Structures are given as structure tokens and as C-alpha cells.
Amino acid sequence: MSTPVQATPTKRFFVNSLTRDIELKDAILDLLDNCIDGVVRSKDLKTLEGENVYKGFRADIVLDEQKFEIHDNCGGIPMKIAIEEAFKFGRTNPERDAQLETVGMYGIGMKRAVFKMGTHILVESQHKENRYTVEIPPEWLEDDNDWMLNLENLKLLGTSHEGTSIIVNNLHDEISDRFSQRRGFAKELRDEVGRIFALIIKKGFVVTVNDVEVSPVSFDLLQTDEIEDQKDGIETYQLKSEYNDVMIDIAIGFYRPLASIDEVEEENRLSRSAANAGITIICNDRIVLFRDKSHITGWGSKPVPSFHNQFLPIAGIVRFSSANSENLPLTTTKRGLNLSAKIYWYALEYIKEGVKKFTDFTNQWKGKESEVKSFFEKATYQDPIKMINENEEKVSWRAVPKGRFNEKRVNPSLPKPARRNTKVRITFYREKEEVKLVAEYIYGDSAANPSDIGDFAFEKQYELAKEEL
Ligand SMILES: Nc1ncnc2c1ncn2[C@@H]1O[C@H](COP(=O)(O)OP(=O)(O)OP(=O)(O)O)[C@@H](O)[C@H]1O
Ligand SMILES: [Mg+2]
């Protein structure tokens, strides 16, 4: 005789384990991902290229101790999808969106985000000729047998109302606390969105958090348009590749002039301005690794040196785009880089090639930073993505020899010093009081720059030496 045995999950256990490991901000970013995916679907975008592809679309987030809301105008959830899939935990139809550069993969993001925050959820959406609402009341979580929800039809509004609103009430205590004004969460979220969605916002998408618009961080690099004699320009390294169905674009270069010796030698720590240096990795326009200076982007892995202050001016972006989001080098959380993906190791070789070019440059000009200033002054800030796309027709693109994925590269020849470096650096330490005294004696100013005093002392001795020897 056989007897059926219960093996269904309790909702509480299921929901708790789902939401435990995701950081609150990441959970909210998942909701924004859905908005962007919504735009891609509603415009049927086959590619994310183009200057203003997200123009006119927006998401407005409002949060306080009582509630969380996100309202978008990104096309809405088709009613059939709402009924059959959107509220399910896990995707039943992974093939959906196969031709589109969306990032939705698992069918979990929205549910995980709302249950992370609270227990009373309202989703209202208008798509084409349907407008409806689905409520998940707190009691729903208590009943382990009934997993069904209700969809109520609402009166259709004008097409400008196509979009989705998600409202979470009954916030968990710790969430309500984090949303209280004194904790500054809205600003934190804005900063994070400005990083992760920088490219998307630059292409016209608007995000507000508590009525304040998010501004995107910049990845602009210095580029000289008019290069005379092929030798006085600051240019970027650029690479394009078609790795199976993933497009890879790389741009690496300088985002500021070389660091002064004082900046390089700021003791025991990375200079503050190092925050803008490093390599950023992007998958379908979302940033998955921000300004990295570790071995992940090749720093300290031969022949590229480890990052230190001398390399402050170096930055770059690496962009992977594909309609098959599972072929992107993403971890399952979609916010991290999958280091075991082959495509990542493939791209890394080119990242290192690019970075090395600019670490070499800073080495060659070490101690002569002032001599290269004029090169930097002639360069202007340019958006690396635009640069890659608009430069496509330019002659400077060369096929990579023996490349297997239609690689094309712009490998700039940066200015080289005319002679080998014949200078040597002199450093010494003296008691502060003694230095002040000498400063007063030479300049009549005890606060004069110690380097100038050292320099003065040397020059004086040098003049004497030349006369007497
Ligand atoms: N703001 C939105 N606009 C349009 N459609 C949406 C929106 N939010 C959710 N959806 C629909 O609901 C579905 C479920 O969303 P959910 O985030 O749970 O999973 P997913 O995006 O498919 O996958 P992932 O777990 O990887 O995010 C989406 O696939 C999408 O069709
Ligand atoms: Mg999603």
C-alpha cells in the first residue's frame, strides 16, 4: 500500500531563503532591470546601440518608513504573461525574449525584491488593451496550500499610462528602519543606480528616487582628434570582437593627465583620485564590475603591473552585449562577473594588452610629467562607447592577426620621449623646524614648498660646482 507524503515547501521558508542572500539595493536594482527589459520588449530593440534608445522612458521610486513604490512607463506586463508567468517563482519559458538584449533570466527578480521589503504587495499594470491589478495580501504568505493569486481588471487609461506600478506595504521592521530619512538610503540608492545604470541613463532613461533625479557617472576618456605627425596625441586603445553571439567592445585610455610625483608618492594609501581609475565591465548595458584595479581586470598579472598611484590616470570599459543573456559572463546574481566564463578569459588578454600600453606610457614619462602636459591639453573628453561605434569607418581599425572572432583593433602609437630617461630623483628628509628656518632664509616665507627648497639648494651647489671644476 502506498500513501502520499507531503513535500511541498512552506511559503515562509521558501520566501525567506529566497530573500536572505540578496542585498536590499541589489533587490531594488532587479526591479529597475525589469523596467529596462520592458523598454527593450516594447520597442522590440534588437540592439542597444544608438544615442537615445531609452529616451522618454522612466522609473520613479518613492520610499519611506511606510512603503516602497516604483512606477514606470515601460510598456506594462502583458496580461497573458501576468496570468501565466510573471508571478510564478521561476521561469517556465526560458525561450521568451530569445532575440532581445534583456537580462531577465530566472523568473525570480520581482518576487524576491518585493518579499525582501514587505508582505503586502500590489502590482498594477497597463499593457496594450488591458489594465489590471494583482494583489498579494499578507495572509497569502500564511497559507501553504493555495499558491494562486487574483487578477482584477481595471478601466483602461490612455496609452501614456502604459507601464507598471509596484507598491510594497507592511514593510519588514529592518527595511522600514533603513528607509527612514535619517539613514540616507535614498541617496545611497541614487549613487548605486548612477553607477550600475550609467550607460542606460546616458541613453535617455530617467530614474528618480524620492523626486530627485539620478545622475550617471562618467566613463569619458581623453582623445585627441587632430593628431599631427602621428606623435603628439593621447588616444585610446579600442577593440571590437564578435565572440560567437556576444559582441565585445573594449576602450582603454587616460581620463586625466599623468599624476605628479607628489601624488604618486602619497604615502601608504591610494590617492583619493584613484576612485575614478580602473576598468569597468558592462553586460547588456548594466555595470557588473566598477572601476576595478585588481587581478580580475589583469592588474598585477604579467606583464601588467599591479595598480598603484602612478597609474591613477588609466581607466577603461569592457562591454559585452548579447540577445542570449546566458552567454554573458554574469554570475547568477547578475551583479557580478563570472570568472569561470571562457569569454571573460578571452577578453582579459585584450584588456591586459590595452592596460599595458598605458602603464608603459606612464613609465616612459616618469619624472617628465610636465613635458607631456601639452599632449593632454589638446585632448578632449569623449564617450568611449560612442567613440567605438563612430570610429568604425575610420582607417585606424586593423584586423587582429590570427584572430578567430573577427577582432578589430585601434592600437594607438602614443608619444615617446625623445631620449631615454637620463634623470635621477633625489629625496631626503629633514626636521620640520630646520626646513622652516631655511625656507624663511631663502624665500622669506617659512611655509614655502620643501621641494622648492631642496631644488634651490641643489641648483646653488651645481652652479658652484660648474664654476670650480
Ligand atoms: N516593470 C515591468 N515592466 C514590464 N514587464 C515586467 C516588469 N516587471 C516584471 N515584468 C514581467 O514579469 C516577469 C517576471 O519578472 P522577474 O523579475 O520576476 O523575472 P525575470 O525578469 O523574467 O527574470 P530574473 O529573475 O532574471 O529577473 C518578467 O519576465 C517580465 O515579463
Ligand atoms: Mg527580472
Dist. CA 22 → ligand 1 center (Å): 17
Q: How far apart are CA 311 and CA 292, in angstroms?
A: 12
- Nearest-Å Rg of the Cα atoms of the chain is 28
* Measured distance CA(199)–CA(101) in Å, rounded: 14
Report pLDDT digits (tens) over 215-255: 999 999 998 886 655 566 899 999 999 999 999 999 999 99
On the question of pLDDT at 189 being above 90, the answer is yes
Q: What is the pLDDT of residue 420?
A: 65
Residue 425 confidence (pLDDT): 80
pLDDT above 90 as % of the chain = 62
CATH code of the domain containing 181: 3.30.565.10
Kindly state whether residues 209 and 226 are assigned to the same domain: no
CATH code of the domain covering residue 235: 3.30.230
Residues 53, 120, single domain; the answer is yes
Taking the CA of residue 30 as reference, the ligand 1 atom at the shortest distance is 27
Q: What is the mean pLDDT of residues 344-349?
A: 97
Q: How confident is the model at residue 38 (pLDDT cuts 50, 70, 90)?
A: very high
The domain boundary residue, chosen from 213, 241, 266 = 213
Q: Note the pTM of the prediction, 2 decimals.
A: 0.84
**Domain match, 121 and 100 both:** yes
- Regarding the beta carbon of 32 and ligand 1, being less than 6 Å apart is answered no
**Which of 170, 187, 213 delimits the end of a domain?**
213
N- to C-terminal Cα distance for the chain?
Answer: 113
Alpha helices, H only, 147-276: 173-179, 185-196, 198-202, 261-264
Residues 66 and 42 occupy one common structural domain? yes
Residue to mutate (ligand 1; options 110, 151, 165, 334; most atoms within 8 A of CB): 110
Q: Which ligand is nearest to the CA of 91?
A: 1
Hey, is 138 helix, strand or coil?
helix
Please state the rounded mean pLDDT for residues 203-225: 95
What pLDDT sits at residue 56? Answer: 95
All residues at 6 or more sequence positions from 169 whose CB lies less than 8 Å from its CB, including other chains: 66, 67, 118, 120, 121, 122
**Per-residue model confidence (pLDDT) at position 154:** 96
Decide whether any atom of ligand 1 lies within 6 Å of the 113 Cβ: no
For ligand 1, whether the C-beta of 74 sits within 6 Å is: yes
In a domain, residue 340? The reply is yes
140 and 85 within one domain = yes
Q: Are residues 254 and 296 in the same domain?
A: yes
Query: Which of 159, 179, 213 is at the close of a domain?
Result: 213
The single-letter code of the amino acid at 221 is: L
Whether residues 441 and 458 fall in one domain: yes
Query: What is the span of the domain harbouring residue 450?
Result: 432-464
Distance (Å, rounded) from C-alpha 368 to C-alpha 418?
11
Q: Is the residue at 424 inside a domain?
A: no
What per-residue confidence (pLDDT) applies to 104?
87
Looking at the fold, whether 207 and 227 belong to one and the same domain comes out as no
Residue 146 burial (CB count, 10 A): 10
Q: How far is CA 371 from CA 120, 125, 375, in A?
A: 64, 60, 9
List all residues 6 or more positions away from 161 whose beta carbon is below 8 Å from its beta carbon.
73, 126, 131
Q: Go through 74-111 and write b for each residue having 16 or more CB atoms within 10 A of its CB, e for each that does not.
A: bbbbbbebbeebbbebeeeeeeebeebbbbbbebbbbb
Domain membership of residue 37 (yes or no) is yes
How many domains, in total, are found in the chain?
Answer: 3
Mean pLDDT of 404-420: 86
Query: What string of DSSP letters covers 160-191?
Result: GG-EEEEEEEEE-HHHHHHHSGGG-HHHHHHH
- Are 179 and 308 contained in the same domain? no
User: Mean pLDDT over residues 59-83, rounded?
Assistant: 97
CA 313–ligand 2 middle distance (angstroms): 36
Average pLDDT over every residue of 161-169: 97
Q: Is the pLDDT of residue 392 over 90?
A: no
Distance, CA 102 to ligand 2 centroid (Å)? 9
Residues 30 and 178 in one domain: yes
Nearest CA to ligand 1 atom 14: 86
d(CA 377, CA 381): 11
Return d(Cα 130, Cα 392) in angstroms, integer.
43
Is there a domain that residue 102 lies in? yes
Q: Which pLDDT score, from 0 to 100, does residue 417 have?
A: 82
Q: Check residue 396 and give its pLDDT.
A: 75
User: Is the backbone peptide bond immediately before 412 cis, with ω within 30 degrees of 0?
Assistant: no
Q: Are 340 and 447 in a shared domain?
A: no
Q: Report which of residues 444 and 166 the model is more confident about.
A: 166
> pLDDT tens, 77-119?
999 999 999 999 988 887 788 788 888 888 999 999 999 999 9
User: Counting ligands in written order, which one lies closest to the CA of residue 79?
Assistant: 1
Domain presence at residue 98 = yes
- 398: pLDDT strictly greater than 80: yes
Q: Does ligand 1 lie within 6 Å of residue 109's CB atom? A: yes
> 255-308: per-residue pLDDT in tens?
998 987 777 776 556 666 678 899 999 999 999 999 999 999 999 999 999 999
Candidate of 37, 81, 91, 105 to mutate for ligand 1, largest count of ligand atoms within 8 Å of Cβ: 37
Nearest atom, ligand 1, residue 70 CA: 1
pLDDT recorded at residue 228: 58
Say whether 245 sits in a helix, a strand or coil: coil
